[in-house]
Amino acid sequence: MRSDTFKDSVVPAKYKILSALAIVVATKCEPCIRGYTKMAYEAGTTESELVEILNVAITESGCPGEQWAMIALKNYSELEDGKKLEAADICCHDKDSN
């Protein structure tokens, strides 16, 4: 079901993923942050786009949101540097994802 949720449709997949990332930053789920950051990176999200979405999450979740947003930004930087996030590191992953 998750893979269907994040497919391109009326709303492009990248925007759905970024919306989910903002939600999990606000709800403080670190494994989910890793997973949605990885999905956003793979969907072609730029660092500038990521920062804008993280700013929304920070605005809506108060000061604690900044700490969780920084986790997402760190994960994104690691992906840019070639680090792989394994499915075991990601909350609620599909069996086939890595």
- pLDDT band (50, 70, 90) for residue 93: low
The conformation of residue 1, written as its DSSP 8-state character, comes to -
Residue type present at position 57: A
CB 17 within 8 A of CB 6: yes
Q: How far is CA 6 from the centre of its chain?
A: 12
pLDDT, tens digit, for every residue of 8-21? 999 999 999 999 99
Res 97 pLDDT > 50: no
Q: Are 17 and 53 in contact (CB under 8 A)?
A: no
Domains of the chain (ranges; CATH) run: 2-89 (1.20.1290.10)
5, 52, 80 from 10: Cα distances, Å: 12, 22, 29
- Name the DSSP letter for residue 45: -
Per-residue pLDDT tens digits for 21-72: 999 999 999 999 999 999 999 999 999 999 999 999 999 998 888 999 999 9
pLDDT band at 92 (very low <50, low <70, confident <90, very high): low
Distance set, CA 46 to CA 12, 17, 35, 62 (Å): 15, 13, 16, 24
Q: Are 70 and 47 in contact (CB under 8 A)?
A: no
pTM score: 0.84
